[in-house]
Amino acid sequence: MKYHKIFAGCYQFCCVCCAIIYSIFPAMDGQTLAVPIYSPFDVEKYRVYLYSFEVCCFFMTACNNSAFDGMTVGLTTIMAAQLDVLKDNLKHAADVDANGSFWEQEEKVKERLKTCVRHHNAILEFTAKTQDVFSAGVFFQILASS
């Protein structure tokens, strides 16, 4: 999770830098608007308002894009971490105490395995829900960027 925070911060910084560049360079080049659009009214008359609107849209898009991507990557990181926890629990499920009886040890192992099965089912449910929520959004994001 530590690396996810670093990645998310760097990605948000890059998105904001991109929005700044898209906002500043068209004005430096002398363009009327950052993104040329059709307008039924005189663009020169409302240039400041339209340019400000485009700049606000750049920053909102940068924030939304970085938040959506960061959340998707964060949930994927949580899934991977839960699988690592499950793997560790499975490795140690058969650990026995030398002082206990065989039947007590057998019951402890069974309980640990039942807990691992419940954990695995919870991971599968979480993965399915996350996939249902984000699959369409990721698809449209990839479609729009290609």
Q: What is the pLDDT of residues 48-81, one digit of tens each?
A: 888 888 899 999 989 988 888 888 888 888 999 9
Q: How far apart are CA 129 and CA 17, in angstroms?
A: 33
Helices (H), the chain: 2-28, 47-91, 102-145
Closest CA to 86 of 135, 120, 136, 52: 120
Q: How far apart are CA 27 and CA 57, in angstroms?
A: 16
Domain boundaries, the chain: 2-145
pTM given for the model: 0.71
Those residues of the chain that have pLDDT short of 70 are: 1, 146
Q: Are 4 and 69 in contact (CB under 8 A)?
A: no
Q: Which residues contact 12 (CB under 8 A, 6 or more apart)?
A: 63, 66, 70
Residue by residue, DSSP assigns 97-129 as -TTS-HHHHHHHHHHHHHHHHHHHHHHHHHHHH
Predicted local confidence at residue 9, as pLDDT: 86
